[in-house]
Amino acid sequence: MLRKILYSSILILSAFYFGCSENTPVTSSVHTVSGHVYDVLRQPFPNIKIFIGDKSTFTASDGSFSIDNVSTPYDLILTDSLNKNGNYYKNLSVTNLDLYNYTTSILSFSCGLIVNIPSEYSGKHGKIFFTNGDDMNSYYPIEGNITNASINMHNYSSVRGKLIVLLYSIDNSGHIISYDNFGMKDSITLSVNGNYSVNFTQADLALNPGETNITGTISGGSTADFKIYFLNFGRKVTPNFATNDMFEQFTDNNFNLVLPTNLPINYSTFIFVNGNLDSMSSYYRRFRVPNSGSGILLNIESSPSLISPPNYALNVDSNTTFSFSGTMNGVYSIMIYDTLNHYSYNFYTTQTNFDLKWMRKIFNIDISNKAYRWFATLNLPSSNGLNDLVNAENTDGNKVQNGSNNRYFTTKP
C-alpha cells in the first residue's frame, strides 16, 4: 500500500519535470546543451527526441544527448517517437540538464546483492545502503542475517561505491529508540545483471553509534497524511519506494525523531509527506532537515486551484483562457491529457494563465473535437524560475509537487 501511495503521487505529477542546469545560469551566449532523460527510478530513457529551435537529436542508450551551438535563453521540446507524449520547457538558460519522462522505460538496470550479517544480529531491524557518493543511493531493509537485495542502477556502466549496514532497535510502536551497530565496506563494485555476496563480521559491525533527537512541527498537512523519514548517504537523492527507504512512519504533525551520531560518513535527513490538502487536491513534499536541533518548522505549500474554464466546458478552442490560483515565485506544470487516445502534453511555466496555442504550434497536433483532462501542479517555489527546478548539480534535495484537482473539457469540432 505504501508503494502504491508513493508511486501514484509520483505518477500524478509525472510529466511535470523538465530539466536543466549548472550552478550558475548562463545568459545571452552560445553553448552546448547536454544532459540525460530518465524515468521515475532514474533509469535511462533511450530514443527520446529533443528539439531546441531548429536543431534536434535522439537520446542514446544511456539516455544522454547533446546539442551544439545553442543560444540562451532557449526553449526545449521533448517527445517520444510517435509524438504521443511531450514536454515543453520555455526560456531555459542552463546547459546541463536532467529531464524526466515518467512513462515506463524499455530498459531496466539492476543487479542482485546478498548481504550476510552474523546470526547474533538476525533479530535486529536495520537497512543496507549502496551509494556511489553522488546520485546512486539504493536502500534495502535487513531481512534476518541474510538479505537478498535488488540494487537499481542507472545504466550499463559498473558502479563503485560504499556498502553500509546500519542496525537499530525499535519500541513496541515501531519507533526507533537506538542505533546499535554500523559497518561500511569501501570499494564495492557492482555491474548490471551481476550477482554479488558480501559478508559483514562482528568486527565489521563493532561501531555502536550514539543518538540524537530532532523535534519540530509540520504545518499545512493533516495527521492522516503518509509521513516517513529516511537518511541519505549520497550527494543527491535517488528516487525510491517508501517501503525501502523509510526508517520510520509517523502520524503526528509534531515529530520527535531519533537519528544516529558519530558515524564515519556524512548523511542527510529527509522527511517525506504525501497526502491530500482537501478532497480534490494532493501533494508530495520532501523536506531536507537538520541532523540535530529542536523547534524545526516545516510548511506544506498550498496546491493550485483551477479557475477557468469551468469543469466539463464545451467548445473550447486555442484562444480559450485557462487559469488557476498560484503562489508568488511558483513554478508550475500544466498537463493536458487526451482521454480517448491517452496522449499527454505538458507545459512548464511561471504564469497562472495560458491558452492551447502551444499544443498546436509545438506538437503540431489537431486539438479539435477531442475530450481532455487538465490539472496544474506547483513544482517548486523559485526565485530563479524554471532553471531552479531540476538543476543537474542541485544537491538540496527539497522537492514540492502539489497537484490541483482535475477538470475536463471538450474542444470545438
Q: What does the domain layout of the chain look like in residue ranges?
A: 18-101+303-411, 106-300
Angle CA 391–394–399, to nearest 5: 85
Other CB atoms within 10 A of residue 413 CB: 7
What pLDDT was estimated at residue 256? Answer: 95
Using DSSP, state whether 108 is helix, strand or coil.
Answer: coil
Please give the Cα distance from 76 to 21 (Å, whole number). Answer: 13
Mean pLDDT by 10 residues, the chain (413 residues): 38 36 55 88 84 92 92 89 80 86 69 94 91 89 90 82 96 92 96 95 96 94 83 82 77 93 95 76 86 94 92 95 86 91 87 88 86 91 70 77 92 94
**Global pTM value:** 0.83
**377 within 8 A of 14, measured Cβ to Cβ:** no
What pLDDT was estimated at residue 202? Answer: 96
Residue 7 phi, psi dihedral angles, 5° rounding: -65, -40
Please give the Cα distance from 16 to 105 (Å, whole number). Answer: 17
DSSP state of 238: P
Range 18-101+303-411 has CATH code 3.40.50.620: no
Q: Which three cell numbers stand for residue 56?
A: 534536434
**311 within 8 A of 407, measured Cβ to Cβ:** yes
Please give the Cα distance from 79 to 70 (Å, whole number). Answer: 19
**304 within 8 A of 377, measured Cβ to Cβ:** yes
487536491: which residue's cell?
A: 281
Q: Compute the Cα dihedral for 273, 277, 279, 283 and give only its sign.
A: negative
Q: Which three cell numbers stand for residue 366?
A: 489537431
What pLDDT was estimated at residue 413? Answer: 92
Per DSSP, the residues of 296-352 read: EEEEPPPPP-EEESPTTEEEE-TT--EEE---TTEEEEEEEEETTTTEEEEEEES-S
Instruction: Report the Cα 184 to chain-centroid distance in Å.
Output: 27
What pLDDT was estimated at residue 22? Answer: 39
